[in-house]
C-alpha cells in the first residue's frame, strides 16, 4: 500500500478528480535569461487556474534522478518507484498493449544476426527497420508451444515483446543476451527450481521461433531479456478508494495505468480535444481520471522548443471542455521534465498546478510556469504526494486521530 | 551506500565538479531588519553566478538540529549522519591529522588531576593551557607498549587524541572517565570478548602514561573516551564513481574527506587564493574537488560579523581562478550556519548556489544571500542531496527505469 495510513481514513464521496499529465512538461530556457517552453506558451486558461489555485514543483523520483516513463508515472500515482518495480519485460509488453496478468511471464526481445556457426554477429540484427521487422514478428507470433499461450508484439525496429500465459509459470530466469558477439545466444536459465519449467518452455519457444526465421539474412536469431511478471501493485481502489479511469493515446501509459487497476478508456482520435471528449463520455462512471498528453515529451525529445510550447497551447485551448465538467480537483503537471534544449528526459523538478475551487489556498502566482511554480504555495515536494493532496482537496479523507 | 540506486546508473564522464564549502556560511542579521553576513558582503562574482544558476537552502542533518563539523560534512558528502556515525575518537584523531585506518583504534583523551589516593579531583586538570599541555603530550607520546604502535597528538588545552595500531585490535571498550570526581579513573573495560586484548593494551598504555606524568602537579592523570575505529564509509569512487580530491587547510576536514576516500591535496599557503591555486594544479587528475574555507566559521564563532563578511568577500574576489578552469558544476554552500550573532554553530538552513552553465534552471534570484536562497528555484532540501544534484548536472547519471 503506498500510504498505509490513508485507506482507514477514506470515506465515500461523489467528488471528481482529474490528473492531467503533460508528459515531459518541465523545461529549460534555450538561452540564459530566457523562458522555458511552458513559460513561453500562451496559456490564458492555465494562468487563470494558477491565479485561482496553488502552484508548486515536484521531484519525480529523488533529487538528481532522471526518470524513465514507467517509474515517473508510478511516482505520480503514489507508488515509490524505488520500492515498486515494474519488470522490464512487463513494461515493454504493456507499452505495446500486451496485457500481463498475474501468472503471466513477459520478456523483451531483440532480433539478432547469427553466423553460420550459430554465433551472434550483430546483437541488433543490423538495426532493421520497423517495416522489415513487422513480417518477422508475424512469423514468430505463429509459434505454438503445447500447454501455454504466447503472444508477441512488435515494439520498434529490432525490438519486440513476448508474453507467455499458462499454469505454473515463474519469471525468475536469466537474460539470454550474452551482451557480446562471437558467441551463441544463451539458453534461458532458471535462477530457482520454481522457474525450471518456464525456462524450458521459453527454450522450446526460442528454438521454434529461430527455425521460423532460418531463411532471414539479418534477423535470423533473437535474444530475450527482462523476464518478469505482473508486479501486483496495490490498486487505486484499495489504496485510495477510487474508481479510476485512464485516458491515453499511447499503449505504454495505458499499460502502467492498468497495472494499478485503472480502467483504460477506448476512444476515437488522438488530440487533446479527443481525449477531453472521452473524459466527458465517461464522466459519470468514475471518480478519478488520469489523462495523458504525450506530445509535449515527443517535441521535447525532438529538441523542438516551439513545437512543445504549441502542444501546451493546444491543451490550454481545449481545457474549457474539462472545466465545463466541474471537477472538484484538477491537477496539471508532468511525469518528468523533457527540456527541448536537452532533447531527453531530465532530473529537473516539474511544474505542478492544483486547482480546487473551494479549498485551494492562493499564493499570488499568476502564471503557470517553472519560475512561478518554484515560488508557489505548495513548495517543493515529491510527485508521490500528488494523490494524497488530490484526495484531501476532493474531501475524501477523514481526520487522522482525534 | 548513501544512494543505492545511483551506482547502477553511473556512466563515465570527463566532467568536473567543484564543491566549495564556506564553513558556517549561514548567518543572521545582528538587528531586526538587517542583513546577514553573506548579504552584507560585496560579492559581485557570486551574485553573477546566482543570476546564471539556481539558489536554494539546505538543512544539514534534520530540522532544528545544530550539526557538528563531522556530521555536517558527512551530510554534504551524501552520507546521512544519523546512519553513518564516525566514532568520537576517530573524529578527534583525524581532526588533528592522525590517520585512522582499518584495524586501528582511536580514542579521545583528557588530562585530569589525581589526588594522593588516586581519585580524580579535577576531570580537566584545571583546564591547563595548550602551552602547558604540549610538553606533557610529548612525554606520553614516548610511551611504548610491546606488540602495538601508539601515536598521540595534542588537540586543545587539556585534550589529546591517541591512536593504537596493531593486529587484532577491537574498539568495543567503555570510556574510562567516571564523569565525576572523588573516584579513580575507570579501567578500560571490553564490552565484548573480541575487545579484551585491546582493553588490556590500553590499560598498560594508561599505566605507563600515568607514570610518565607522576611529577606533574595538575595533569598527573588522564581518561580516555570514544574508543572507535575506521567507520568504513563507502568511498566516493564506489558511491558516485568520482575520483575526488580534498583541498583544505585544517586537518579535521582533510580527515573527514579521507574517510570517504578523497585524496587530500598538499599545498603551500592557507588563503583562498592558495587553495584555488592548488585546485588548478591538480585539475586534470580528478573529477570532483571539495574545497574547504575555514575562516567564515572561525569569524562567526568569534562573533565578528564584519570579519566573516570580509572572509566571504575574499573568497568572492578569488573565485575567477576557479571559473577560469571551466568547471561543469560549481556548488557554493556551507556545512552549517555559524551566525556571528550567536557565536556558535546553529541549526538554520544554509544558503546553496548551484551553477551549471548548460543545465541550471534560472530562478530570477540575483544575489547570493539567505533571503534570495529561501526563494530560490531549488527550494529547501537536505544537504544530502548535494551530490546527486551535482552528478545530474555533470551528466554522470543515466535514466532510472524505462
Instruction: Give this prediction's pTM.
Output: 0.91
Q: Which of A63, A345, A380 sits opposite B399 (nearest CB)?
A: A345
| Chain A hits for B363, Cβ within 8 Å | 371, 374
Q: Tell me how far apart the alpha carbons of residues A243 and A390 are, in angstroms, rounded to a whole number.
A: 14
pLDDT at A252: 87
Decide if A348 and B361 are in contact by the 8 Å CB cutoff: yes
Percentage of chain A beyond pLDDT 70 is: 100
pLDDT at B354: 98
Decide if B402 and A342 are in contact by the 8 Å CB cutoff: no
pLDDT tier at A402, thresholds 50, 70, 90: confident
Decide if A346 and B359 are in contact by the 8 Å CB cutoff: yes
CA-wise closest residue to A263 among A281, A283, A243? A243
DSSP A185: P
User: B201: which strand partners?
Assistant: none
Decide if A349 and B379 are in contact by the 8 Å CB cutoff: yes
pLDDT at B251: 87
* A32 CA: distance to closest CA in chain B (Å): 7
Q: Tell me how far apart the alpha carbons of residues A117 and B171 are, in angstroms, rounded to a whole number.
A: 61
| Chain B hits for A32, Cβ within 8 Å | 52, 362
pLDDT at A136: 97
Q: Which tens digit of pLDDT belongs to each residue from A320-331?
A: 999 999 999 999
pLDDT higher than threshold 80 for residue B92: yes
Q: Which of A36, A346, A380 sits opposite B379 (nearest CB)?
A: A380
Decide if A70 and B400 are in contact by the 8 Å CB cutoff: no
Decide if B385 and A92 are in contact by the 8 Å CB cutoff: no
pLDDT higher than threshold 80 for residue B25: yes
Contact B153, B160 (CB under 8 A): yes
pLDDT at A237: 98
In the predicted model, what is the mean pLDDT of chain A? 96
Decide if B401 and A63 are in contact by the 8 Å CB cutoff: no
CA-wise closest residue to A236 among A2, A398, A395? A2
Contact A41, B373 (CB under 8 A): no
Q: Which tens digit of pLDDT belongs to each residue from A331-359?
A: 999 999 999 999 999 999 999 999 999 99
Q: Which tens digit of pLDDT belongs to each residue from A61-86?
A: 999 999 999 999 999 999 999 999 89
Q: Tell me how far apart the alpha carbons of residues B290 and B293 are, in angstroms, rounded to a whole number.
A: 10
Task: Look up the ipTM and state it.
Answer: 0.89
Q: Which tens digit of pLDDT belongs to each residue from A109-165?
A: 999 999 999 999 999 999 999 999 999 999 999 999 999 999 999 998 999 999 999
Beta-carbon-side half-sphere exposure of residue A67 (alpha carbons within 13 Å): 32
Closest residue on chain B to A87 (Cα): B401
C-alpha cell at position A122: 550483430
Closest residue on chain A to B380 (Cα): A380
pLDDT at A166: 96
Decide if B375 and A370 are in contact by the 8 Å CB cutoff: no
C-alpha cell at position A188: 534461458
CA-wise closest residue to A157 among A91, A218, A226, A86? A218
- Cα angle: B62, vertex B63, B69; to 5 degrees: 50
pLDDT at B306: 98
Closest residue on chain B to A374 (Cα): B377
Percentage of chain B beyond pLDDT 90 is: 95
* B365 CA: distance to closest CA in chain A (Å): 10
Contact A102, A230 (CB under 8 A): yes
> What's the rounded mean pLDDT across residues A44-67?
98
Compute the count of residue pairs across chains A and B with CB atoms less than 8 Å apart.
Answer: 92
pLDDT at A74: 97
Decide if A66 and B397 are in contact by the 8 Å CB cutoff: yes
CB-neighbour burial class of residue B144 (10 A; exposed 0-12, middle 13-18, buried 19+): exposed
Enumerate chain B positions whose Cβ falls within 8 A of a Cβ in A. 3, 5-6, 9, 52, 358-359, 361-364, 375-381, 385, 387-393, 397-402
Decide if A371 and B377 are in contact by the 8 Å CB cutoff: yes
Closest residue on chain B to A83 (Cα): B5
- Cα angle: A154, vertex A158, A161; to 5 degrees: 35
pLDDT at B85: 87
Closest residue on chain B to A84 (Cα): B401
Contact B224, B210 (CB under 8 A): no
Closest residue on chain A to B7 (Cα): A65
> What's the rounded mean pLDDT across residues B276-285?
98
Q: Indicate the helix (H) or strand (E) that contains B109.
A: strand B105-114
Q: Which tens digit of pLDDT belongs to each residue from A243-253?
A: 999 999 988 89
Q: Which of A57, A66, A344 sits opposite B400 (nearest CB)?
A: A66
pLDDT higher than threshold 80 for residue B402: no
Per DSSP, the residues of A296-344 read HHHHHHTT-HHHHHHHHHHHHHHTHHHHTT--SEEEEE-SSB--TTTTS
Contact B340, B37 (CB under 8 A): yes
| Chain B hits for A88, Cβ within 8 Å | 402
| Chain A hits for B376, Cβ within 8 Å | 374
* A150 CA: distance to closest CA in chain B (Å): 23
pLDDT higher than threshold 80 for residue B401: yes
pLDDT tier at B31, thresholds 50, 70, 90: very high
Beta strands in A98-249 (DSSP E): 105-114, 120-122, 149-156, 159-165, 221-228, 244-248
Q: Which tens digit of pLDDT belongs to each residue from B337-395?
A: 999 999 999 999 999 999 999 999 999 999 999 999 999 999 999 999 999 999 999 99
Q: Tell me how far apart the alpha carbons of residues A387 and A396 are, in angstroms, rounded to a whole number.
A: 11
Amino acid at each position: 500500500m503506498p500510504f498505509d495510513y490513508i485507506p482507514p481514513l477514506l470515506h465515500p464521496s461523489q467528488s471528481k478528480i482529474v490528473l492531467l499529465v503533460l508528459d515531459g512538461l518541465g523545461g529549460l530556457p534555450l538561452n540564459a535569461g530566457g523562458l522555458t517552453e511552458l513559460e513561453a506558451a500562451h496559456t490564458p486558461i492555465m494562468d487563470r487556474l494558477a491565479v485561482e489555485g496553488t502552484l508548486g514543483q515536484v521531484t519525480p523520483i529523488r533529487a538528481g534522478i532522471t526518470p524513465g516513463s514507467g517509474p515517473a508515472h508510478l511516482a505520480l500515482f503514489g507508488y515509490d518507484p524505488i520500492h515498486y518495480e515494474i519488470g522490464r519485460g512487463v513494461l515493454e509488453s504493456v507499452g505495446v498493449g500486451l496485457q500481463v496478468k498475474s501468472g503471466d511471464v513477459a520478456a523483451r526481445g531483440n532480433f539478432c544476426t547469427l553466423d553460420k556457426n550459430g554465433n551472434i554477429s550483430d546483437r541488433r540484427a543490423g538495426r532493421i527497420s520497423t517495416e522489415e521487422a513487422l513480417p518477422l514478428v508475424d512469423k514468430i507470433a505463429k509459434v505454438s508451444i503445447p500447454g501455454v499461450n504466447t503472444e508477441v508484439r512488435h515494439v520498434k525496429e529490432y525490438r519486440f515483446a513476448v508474453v507467455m500465459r499458462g499454469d505454473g509459470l515463474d519469471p525468475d530466469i536469466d537474460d539470454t543476451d550474452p551482451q557480446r558477439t562471437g558467441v551463441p545466444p544463451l539458453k534461458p536459465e532458471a535462477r530457482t527450481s520454481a522457474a525450471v519449467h518456464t525456462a524450458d518452455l521459453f527454450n522450446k519457444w526460442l528454438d521454434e521461433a529461430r527455425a521460423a526465421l532460418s531463411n532471414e539474412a539479418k534477423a535470423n536469431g533473437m535474444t530475450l531479456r527482462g523476464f518478469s511478471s505482473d508486479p501486483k501493485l496495490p490498486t487505486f481502489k484499495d489504496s485510495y478508494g477510487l474508481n479510476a479511469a485512464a485516458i491515453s493515446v499511447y499503449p505504454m501509459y495505458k499499460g502502467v495505468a492498468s497495472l494499478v487497476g485503472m480502467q483504460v478508456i477506448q476512444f476515437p482520435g488522438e488530440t487533446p480535444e479527443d481525449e477531453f471528449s472521452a473524459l466527458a463520455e465517461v464522466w459519470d462512471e468514475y471518480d478519478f481520471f488520469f489523462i495523458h498528453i504525450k506530445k509535449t515529451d515527443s517535441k521535447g525529445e525532438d529538441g523542438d522548443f516551439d513545437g512543445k510550447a504549441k502542444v501546451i497551447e493546444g491543451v490550454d485551448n481545449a481545457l474549457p471542455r474539462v472545466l465545463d465538467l466541474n471537477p472538484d480537483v484538477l491537477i496539471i503537471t508532468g511525469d518528468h521534465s523533457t527540456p527541448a534544449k536537452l532533447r531527453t528526459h531530465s532530473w529537473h523538478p516539474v511544474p505542478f498546478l492544483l486547482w480546487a475551487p473551494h479549498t485551494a489556498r492562493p499564493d499570488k502566482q499568476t502564471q503557470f510556469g517553472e519560475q512561478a511554480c518554484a515560488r508557489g504555495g505548495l513548495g517543493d515536494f515529491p510527485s508521490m504526494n500528488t494523490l494524497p493532496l488530490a484526495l484531501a482537496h476532493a474531501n475524501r479523507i477523514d481526520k487522522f486521530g482525534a
